[in-house]
A and B are shown apart, each in its own frame.
Chain A
């Protein structure tokens, strides 16, 4: 059987830690399941009830750090049911299981359905929306189930992510710091660069100043891709408007065959753990 997967018969579900740009999930065949953010007694659905600007304004004003929680299996069930009613296949792409229990809720819900394929992409934030975008590009022209699955495995293994965080305070307070713990952040104007490794966040470098940060990012691009790679990348920012354009310019200069996909914003859940003043980029060679 050579069933071709297309936009007509295949849906993609992602979670809100994908920090996608506005309108990203409004397109047909794309679904987003929100995680939740709790400020004291108040609960908000990430990416649904609050804009990212509102979230950061509130984060800075709040004395207590918000907490976050994963979607329930029931919430995934509802979305899968809706998606499967219209589409034959569903790909459900998620934040690393080392960082959140989201993917376990998804797997639990998926057991009730045929053809719901759940992936732990071993990464977080904009890398998830990049994976969604690149899978969607394959569906646009049509691909086999094997090809789609192979691509997602390739993505989980080979995509890279670099986060330039203003401080480690939020990561530390949230207990999500992993091996990034050895970095000093926020003190003496040091901004840590954090990457992902084995599904968790780890320190990449400690830098002071934008120029040093850009130099370290260049090094990261050199180390994680080859000069002639067909490199797809996207950028996110959180209340930081200088850096994203510099990052884009830097990657395009170093990788002539690169393709800028989009620029998103850090959402409430990732923002709770990484904090304001963050910029990040994700890339995948295809």
Chain B
């Protein structure tokens, strides 16, 4: 258990370092696709390793090393995460056969890590995390075995730092954006956290504190040395986007896990390679991780089924992610923060909705949505990023209210959670926001503003069921008001009519409708006509919300 606990401590230190810099690493991400998720992918990959170890009761180095390899492979997310999993695999292959971790072992381990990463990538590109791990491995070879591990760690880290700085000049995409490579920088942050963890362990000290400091220090070193990475007041760095990024040729980042027996990894790789780019097919006979950018994820999944069972399927629309990153980092006039006044952090899904919140003066937005509720740690990170004492959080989802309250409890800041259960309710609350008021004062104003607001959604049923006395068949459109099913119909419009009737029964004066009608079979014009007919006494205001899964979100006041 000692080895396991030590490994958990060290990896947690690395995880803390990446978590600290996650958003910044996301912002740096322009290559190969500016989808702004490298930091998140790396963090989730490392988190999977910690979780794998925590579930185990391993006692010796080989079994711990195997668990680390497995966790990183199973949990690998995105291009950078999968490449990281291969670096980890190489390192663990060496470490797993050693009986301790000294300078000689570490040198061989990092070299094997580098080799494994290069093996996985069919067309290696310089100026990426591959370059950074190679420079680190090269530097390691220059350190005599007789020197202590701390000297090796320092040399490797310094080589990594220089390599990261050089990435800007190595890749035109990075140069154009004036950033260092996100994956390379993420790897450096990770390594620094890891090294701090190891050093703390050697000193017998606590691990987490050192990691946080290390993470910050590396950020200052690299960030401060770069043009294009502006060092704003208070030491926060900000990446900016001046023009819309080019969209990738292949739209969907597709990754999944195959489990089976005697999986022919090379055959699958040969199938996947011509379909897209950034292809990584890694693992062993029993477990293979596939990551590829393609236009037809279905083709890859269908083929994969021939090799075994698939799981952990993740498909991201990189065009949408790219636009979100552009939006997040584009020229904006951030709302000013009043003296002693509060800021607002809102959990929002949908680009149109995010823009509405920003227009209304919301200071930070955490991506949300039915299937991707943020964790308390993510919320807290967004809150603390603002560096303001008084904070109002709008969860905008019944399932996030508790998370937000947990986040509030974890922080020393004055965080007030306004229990908004839907995005339109959150917008109604936002209207009442007064930048001169503190968190508690605003929470009262905003709570008052939404107490009489009814909220509704129209979505499709995922299975047959009977709810609130209404029978629904799978695929039917459901109109839900205040969490209660009021209508089920074959088309969105009819379900929306049911919502409007319910609103009209409650003497709604002002109805807000946030739409995401692409592919829903109805149009805004149709809905506007419906509203005029079904709720003639109400003023109805339509906005393009762009939220996933819900063609319509609405509220009535």
Q: Among the interface residues B431, B434, B436, B510, which one has the most CB atoms of the partner chain A within 10 A?
A: B431
User: Are A212 and B431 touching (Cβ within 8 A)?
Assistant: no
Task: With A188-B360, A209-B509, A209-B539 as known contacts, state yes or no: A182 contacts B436, CB within 8 Å.
Answer: yes
Fill in one digit per residue for A234-260: 1 if any B CB lies within 8 Å of its CB, else 0.
000000000000000000000000000
On A, residues with C-beta under 8 Å from B are: 182, 184, 187-190, 206, 208-212
On B, residues with C-beta under 8 Å from A are: 338, 356, 359-361, 427, 431-432, 434-436, 509-510, 512, 539, 541, 543, 557
CB of B341 to closest CB in A, whole Å: 9
Q: Which residues of A contact B435 (CB under 8 A)?
A: 182
User: Are A182 and B434 touching (Cβ within 8 A)?
Assistant: yes
User: Are B539 and A210 touching (Cβ within 8 A)?
Assistant: yes
Q: List 12 A-B contacts (CB under 8 A).
A: A182-B436, A184-B360, A184-B361, A187-B356, A187-B359, A188-B427, A188-B543, A189-B541, A190-B431, A208-B510, A208-B539, A208-B541
Q: Which residues of A contact B557 (CB under 8 A)?
A: 208, 212
- Please report the C-alpha to C-alpha distance between residue A278 and residue B122 in the assembled complex, in whole angstroms: 65
User: Are A209 and B510 touching (Cβ within 8 A)?
Assistant: yes
User: Are A206 and B431 touching (Cβ within 8 A)?
Assistant: yes
User: Are A187 and B510 touching (Cβ within 8 A)?
Assistant: no
Q: Which residues of A contact B436 (CB under 8 A)?
A: 182
- Please report the C-alpha to C-alpha distance between residue A187 and residue B510 in the assembled complex, in whole angstroms: 16
Q: Which residues of A contact B359 (CB under 8 A)?
A: 184, 187-188
- Please report the C-alpha to C-alpha distance between residue A168 and residue B250 in the assembled complex, in whole angstroms: 43
- Please report the C-alpha to C-alpha distance between residue A189 and residue B514 in the assembled complex, in whole angstroms: 13
- Please report the C-alpha to C-alpha distance between residue A188 and residue B435 in the assembled complex, in whole angstroms: 18
Q: Which residues of A contact B431 (CB under 8 A)?
A: 184, 188, 190, 206, 208
- Please report the C-alpha to C-alpha distance between residue A208 and residue B555 in the assembled complex, in whole angstroms: 13
Q: Which residues of A contact B432 (CB under 8 A)?
A: 206
- Please report the C-alpha to C-alpha distance between residue A189 and residue B431 in the assembled complex, in whole angstroms: 11
Q: Which residues of B contact A188 (CB under 8 A)?
A: 356, 359-360, 427, 431, 541, 543
Question: Which listed residue, B356, B510, B512, B543, touches A212 by the CB 8 Å rule?
Answer: B510
Q: Which residues of B contact A209 (CB under 8 A)?
A: 509-510, 539, 541
Q: Which residues of B contact A184 (CB under 8 A)?
A: 359-361, 431
- 10 tightest A-B contacts by CB? A187-B359, A209-B510, A209-B539, A211-B509, A189-B541, A206-B431, A182-B435, A184-B360, A188-B356, A208-B510
CB of A224 to closest CB in B, whole Å: 21
Further 10 A-B residue pairs, CB within 8 A, beyond A182-B338, A188-B359: A182-B436, A187-B360, A188-B360, A188-B541, A189-B541, A190-B360, A206-B432, A208-B539, A208-B557, A211-B509
Q: Which residues of A contact B356 (CB under 8 A)?
A: 187-188
CB of A264 to closest CB in B, whole Å: 27
| Chain A binding surface, main DSSP class | helix
Which residue of chain A is the closest to B434 with respect to CB atoms? A182
Which residue of chain A is the closest to B336 with respect to CB atoms? A181
- Please report the C-alpha to C-alpha distance between residue A286 and residue B539 in the assembled complex, in whole angstroms: 37
CB of B151 to closest CB in A, whole Å: 57
CB of A55 to closest CB in B, whole Å: 28
- Please report the C-alpha to C-alpha distance between residue A145 and residue B359 in the assembled complex, in whole angstroms: 52
Which residue of chain B is the closest to A210 with respect to CB atoms? B539
Which residue of chain A is the closest to B542 with respect to CB atoms? A189
Which residue of chain A is the closest to B359 with respect to CB atoms? A187
Q: Which residues of B contact A187 (CB under 8 A)?
A: 356, 359-360
- Please report the C-alpha to C-alpha distance between residue A10 and residue B162 in the assembled complex, in whole angstroms: 85
Q: Which residues of B contact A190 (CB under 8 A)?
A: 360, 431
Q: Which residues of B contact A212 (CB under 8 A)?
A: 509-510, 557
Q: Which residues of B contact A210 (CB under 8 A)?
A: 539
- Please report the C-alpha to C-alpha distance between residue A209 and residue B434 in the assembled complex, in whole angstroms: 20
- Please report the C-alpha to C-alpha distance between residue A210 and residue B427 in the assembled complex, in whole angstroms: 18
CB of A218 to closest CB in B, whole Å: 14
Which residue of chain A is the closest to B356 with respect to CB atoms? A188
CB of B441 to closest CB in A, whole Å: 13
- Please report the C-alpha to C-alpha distance between residue A274 and residue B166 in the assembled complex, in whole angstroms: 54
Q: Which residues of A contact B427 (CB under 8 A)?
A: 188
- Please report the C-alpha to C-alpha distance between residue A62 and residue B360 in the assembled complex, in whole angstroms: 27
- Please report the C-alpha to C-alpha distance between residue A103 and residue B338 in the assembled complex, in whole angstroms: 32
Q: Which residues of B contact A182 (CB under 8 A)?
A: 338, 434-436
- Please report the C-alpha to C-alpha distance between residue A209 and residue B539 in the assembled complex, in whole angstroms: 7
- Please report the C-alpha to C-alpha distance between residue A162 and residue B182 in the assembled complex, in whole angstroms: 53
Q: Which residues of A contact B509 (CB under 8 A)?
A: 209, 211-212
Which residue of chain B is the closest to A214 with respect to CB atoms? B509
User: Are A211 and B539 touching (Cβ within 8 A)?
Assistant: yes
- Please report the C-alpha to C-alpha distance between residue A182 and residue B442 in the assembled complex, in whole angstroms: 13
CB of B156 to closest CB in A, whole Å: 51
Which residue of chain B is the closest to A212 with respect to CB atoms? B510
Which residue of chain B is the closest to A206 with respect to CB atoms? B431
- Please report the C-alpha to C-alpha distance between residue A184 and residue B361 in the assembled complex, in whole angstroms: 8
Q: Among the interface residues A190, A206, A210, A212, which one has the most CB atoms of the partner chain B within 10 A?
A: A206
Q: Which residues of B contact A211 (CB under 8 A)?
A: 509-510, 539
- Please report the C-alpha to C-alpha distance between residue A265 and residue B7 in the assembled complex, in whole angstroms: 76
Which residue of chain A is the closest to B432 with respect to CB atoms? A206
Which residue of chain A is the closest to B437 with respect to CB atoms? A182
- Please report the C-alpha to C-alpha distance between residue A188 and residue B430 in the assembled complex, in whole angstroms: 11
Q: Among the interface residues A208, A210, A212, which one has the most CB atoms of the partner chain B within 10 A?
A: A208
CB of A166 to closest CB in B, whole Å: 14
Q: Which residues of A contact B338 (CB under 8 A)?
A: 182
CB of A203 to closest CB in B, whole Å: 9
Which residue of chain B is the closest to A211 with respect to CB atoms? B509
- Please report the C-alpha to C-alpha distance between residue A152 and residue B257 in the assembled complex, in whole angstroms: 82
